[in-house]
Structure 1
Amino acid sequence: MFQSVKKVLSFLVIITILAIVGIFFYTHNRTFYNDEELIGNTSGNIYNGGLFAEINGKIYFSNDNDDGSLYSMNSDCSSVKKVHDDKAAYINVDDNYIYYVRANNTRENNPGHIFTFNNTGVYRINQNGKNIKVISNNPGSYLTLNGNYVYYQNYDVENGLFLYRSKIDGEMKRLLLEEAVVPAGVMNNKLYYTGFTKDHNINTLDLSSFTENTYVSGNFAFPIFQGQYIYYMDLSNNYTINRMNLDGSNPTVLVQERCSTYNITNTGKYLYYQIDEMENSKICRLNLQTMETEVLLEGYYKQIHVTENYVFFKEFENTRTFVLSADGSSKLGTFDPPVLSK
């Protein structure tokens, strides 16, 4: 009797082990797909380098204190953890993965081995920092995740810098546009972007027929579709910041001065922007409900990023990163995350 029970238990243990091993190998190589409407990061963040991205109460970011390595923290900036040693830019996230452009070639502490390969490219990694996957080995930028596709500029020695698309498993890579255009977003199965060489209109690319059309004619840069408006920089009007209705009507100047970058909080209440006018240079905030403006700091700043609770921006010389509450508080702090080992 005892021997029979022992055999049954041994059999059950073996079956359990085999099931666990089978599940591991199945999930290890399996790609978990997204809702088609998922957005991996805001277009405003991507325009500013994609150094912060948020999902499910977690912020994934490039830690300047650790030469740009990929980190995570809670949405209240607590519980900082190191995800991977790679220097990360253009970070996008979904429920399972982090997507980013590897920028190890730009590290300040680059070891300088001229024969080091794979210092750049587009990559996907599990949120626990494991199972890194190559989407493209070529240098990339402006990576944008929409649904189950990633859109990105990719440099090819023979063709130059063009816009490509791949599935999130790295398959079905396709050349979309023979221009170095920045993807502004995907809506209703259309990719929206501003022309780069042929024009500076806001254009669309139908993702079924792959035909191009002009959406709004003009001289635009960095359009952000938010709420009932399209925000943009007007290249014909000294890089001022403007907005218009979604159909292109009623263009309105919001910031009269020449600007270098901007971003909008997730609620659509505040516009943050950097004025670049020599001695008049400063970073400011505009309340889009009251149209009141406020100077945050004098000088030169860049890479404005927004999350649900915070706004981050950097000094032009990369010496400090500032943080303030996204709810309209004027209290500035320094974002100074620790340097950790993986």
Structure 2
Amino acid sequence: MKKSTKRFIWILIIIVILIIIGISIFFHLQNRTRFNPTNVSGNTAGNYYNAGLFCEHNGMVYFSNPYDDYSLYEMTPQGTEAHQLCTDKVSFINADDNYVYYVRDNLKKSRSDSSFAFITYAANSLCRINHNGKQSVILDNDPSLYAALSGNYIYYIHYDKETASTLYKVKIDGTEKQKLNSSPLLLSPAANGTLCYNGLDSNHNIWSWNSASDTSSLLYEGNCWNPIDDGSYIYFMDCTNDYHLTRIEKNSQEKTDISECRIDCYNVYGDYVYYQKADIDNEIYELCRKGLDASSKEEVIAEGIYSDINITSNYVYFRNFRNQDEFFQTPTNEAINVEKFTFENE
């Protein structure tokens, strides 16, 4: 064999090896998990308590589309350029710079769905997907609920036959899954990268959860439900006062009654708190909002019973309690203008 031919063969071999190495490096970089700073939160606490059906991050809104069997969609905050990211039926949506996280509940997808979701692997599970809708990863195969991203961990309610519902966490790459508490504590995103929750066992006090050490510290003693910690105030439903919407000032512990009667759910965003009023004695049921300053008066958004109040920078979204597939919207922090939830596809 001529020397030039041998040299050509060796050059060809080296080129092939370099190509293989390059492809391997490319796929490694594509498939490696990109991690977050420790103070990242995946959604707002108010959306979290309302099933996490909408989540805004970096100028995009990720949402569970009621017009497409609650599949995961993406759109602008103005409701334009909407498109599907995956066909999973989703709730408790979280997002960071690299991924969208959600609870998959394909067991409840429409029976007419041709994807045969009822035999799909891990049909009810905790998942992660890229922003482009590709490379779906299952973080927990078992039934999951109330997922909240904090830093590089998802805190969520895990269910299995042996222990029923308990508090778990898992790293965003699917490792380090562990049980944290035998109670199904709902850890909601709070100020400064912490989490907030009310007790379930011996009391309903409000606690702060440090995600760096997985330890708790007491914030407020009381009979409370669904606390939201915005850094300056803690909002909650006061169980001792017929579930009135209440807040305390964190430094002084001064307590203020916000709603005039019982509420069923609420959310806080910008200059307003939004809540579903349930005046049972007078049979008055209304979705309302109220400014956060003490002198603000209650405004009625819509008469009737509504749930799942989710808020983004442009809209407040809410669901008809008696017709779960009917959603509405009104502008955030602007004059009330209720419309049926709508968006424009790409």
User: Normalising by the residue count of structure 1, what TM-score does the alignment of the two structures yield?
Assistant: 0.89
| Aligned position for 1:301 | 306
**1:114 to 1:98, Cα distance in 2 relative to 1, 3 A:** closer
Q: CA deviation at 1:206?
A: 4.6
Paired letter, 1:180: P
The whole-number CA distance in structure 2 between the counterparts of 1:78 and 1:332 is 18
Contact persistence 2:150–2:211 (CA under 8 A): no
| Aligned position for 1:320 | 326
**1:212 to 1:270, Cα distance in 2 relative to 1, 3 A:** closer
The whole-number CA distance in structure 1 between the counterparts of 2:70 and 2:328 is 16
Contact persistence 2:147–2:154 (CA under 8 A): yes
Contact persistence 1:243–1:252 (CA under 8 A): yes
Match for residue 145 of structure 1 among 143, 149, 159: 149
Identity across aligned pairs (percent)? 36
The whole-number CA distance in structure 2 between the counterparts of 1:211 and 1:181 is 13
The whole-number CA distance in structure 2 between the counterparts of 1:121 and 1:241 is 33
Match for residue 230 of structure 1 among 231, 234, 249: 234
**1:78 to 1:238, Cα distance in 2 relative to 1, 3 A:** same
**1:93 to 1:206, Cα distance in 2 relative to 1, 3 A:** closer
Aligned residue pairs: how many? Answer: 334
SS of 1:44's equivalent in the other structure is: helix
**1:76 to 1:67, Cα distance in 2 relative to 1, 3 A:** same
| Aligned position for 1:72 | 74
Contact persistence 1:67–1:109 (CA under 8 A): no
The whole-number CA distance in structure 2 between the counterparts of 1:57 and 1:191 is 24
Contact persistence 1:231–1:243 (CA under 8 A): yes
SS of 1:282's equivalent in the other structure is: strand
Match for residue 277 of structure 1 among 276, 279, 304: 279
Paired letter, 1:296: I
| Aligned position for 2:339 | 333
The whole-number CA distance in structure 2 between the counterparts of 1:226 and 1:209 is 21
Q: CA deviation at 1:28?
A: 2.6
SS of 2:261's equivalent in the other structure is: coil
Asked whether 1:96 is paired with 2:102, we answer: no
Match for residue 297 of structure 2 among 283, 287, 292: 292
Contact persistence 1:65–1:336 (CA under 8 A): no
Q: CA deviation at 1:327?
A: 2.5
**1:271 to 1:208, Cα distance in 2 relative to 1, 3 A:** closer
Q: CA deviation at 1:284?
A: 0.5
Paired letter, 2:164: G
Q: CA deviation at 1:288?
A: 1.4
Contact persistence 1:65–1:339 (CA under 8 A): no
Q: CA deviation at 1:22?
A: 3.1
Match for residue 129 of structure 1 among 117, 120, 133: 133
User: Normalising by the residue count of structure 2, what TM-score does the alignment of the two structures yield?
Assistant: 0.88
Q: CA deviation at 1:51?
A: 0.3
SS of 1:27's equivalent in the other structure is: helix
Compare 188-197 and 87-96 and name the one that shifted more.
Answer: 188-197
Asked whether 1:193 is paired with 2:197, we answer: yes
Match for residue 56 of structure 2 among 54, 57, 60: 54
* CA RMSD after TM alignment: 2.7
The whole-number CA distance in structure 1 between the counterparts of 2:36 and 2:107 is 31
**1:190 to 1:59, Cα distance in 2 relative to 1, 3 A:** closer
SS of 1:105's equivalent in the other structure is: helix
Q: CA deviation at 1:186?
A: 5.5
| Aligned position for 1:81 | 83
Q: CA deviation at 1:214?
A: 3.0
Q: CA deviation at 1:197?
A: 2.6
Paired letter, 1:315: N
| Aligned position for 1:173 | 177
Match for residue 163 of structure 1 among 141, 144, 167: 167
The whole-number CA distance in structure 2 between the counterparts of 1:284 and 1:130 is 39
Paired letter, 1:330: I
The whole-number CA distance in structure 2 between the counterparts of 1:212 and 1:42 is 20
Contact persistence 2:244–2:257 (CA under 8 A): yes
Contact persistence 1:104–1:110 (CA under 8 A): no
**1:319 to 1:190, Cα distance in 2 relative to 1, 3 A:** closer
Contact persistence 2:109–2:117 (CA under 8 A): no
